A and B are shown apart, each in its own frame.
Chain A
Amino acid sequence: DAGVIQSPRHEVTEMGQEVTLRCKPISGHNSLFWYRQTMMRGLELLIYFNNNVPIDDSGMPEDRFSAKMPNASFSTLKIQPSEPRDSAVYFCASSLEVGSGRNEQFFGPGTRLTVL
Chain B
Amino acid sequence: RKEVEQDPGPFNVPEGATVAFNCTYSNSASQSFFWYRQDCRKEPKLLMSVYSSGNEDGRFTAQLNRASQYISLLIRDSKLSDSATYLCVVNRGGSYIPTFGRGTSLIVHP
Identify the A interface with B (CB < 8 A): 33, 35, 42-43, 45, 48, 55-56, 91, 98-99, 101-110
A107 to chain B, nearest CB (A): 4
In the complex, number of A-B residue pairs with CB atoms less than 8 Å apart: 45
Question: Residue on B with the closest CB to A97?
Answer: B96
Contact of B43 among A98, A99, A109 (CB under 8 A): A109
Question: Residue on B with the closest CB to A112?
Answer: B41
Contact of B100 among A43, A98, A101, A104 (CB under 8 A): A43
Asked if B49 contacts A42 (CB within 8 A), the reply is no
Asked if B44 contacts A42 (CB within 8 A), the reply is no
Asked if A43 contacts B97 (CB within 8 A), the reply is no
30 contacts between A and B (CB under 8 A): A35-B100, A42-B100, A42-B102, A43-B44, A43-B87, A43-B103, A45-B97, A45-B98, A48-B97, A55-B97, A56-B95, A56-B97, A91-B43, A98-B96, A99-B96, A101-B31, A102-B32, A102-B49, A103-B32, A103-B91, A103-B96, A104-B34, A104-B46, A104-B49, A105-B46, A105-B98, A106-B46, A107-B44, A109-B43, A110-B43
**In the complex, chain B residues 63-100 whose Cβ is within 8 Å of any chain A Cβ:** 87, 91, 95-100
Instruction: Give bound CA distance, A99 to B97, whole Å.
Output: 9
Identify the B interface with A (CB < 8 A): 31-32, 34, 42-46, 49, 87, 91, 95-103
Secondary structure at chain A's binding surface: helix, strand, loop or mixed? strand
For A98, what are the chain B residues with a Cβ–Cβ distance below 8 Å?
96-97
For A99, what are the chain B residues with a Cβ–Cβ distance below 8 Å?
96
Question: Residue on A with the closest CB to B101?
Answer: A42
Instruction: Give bound CA distance, A19 to B31, whole Å.
Output: 36
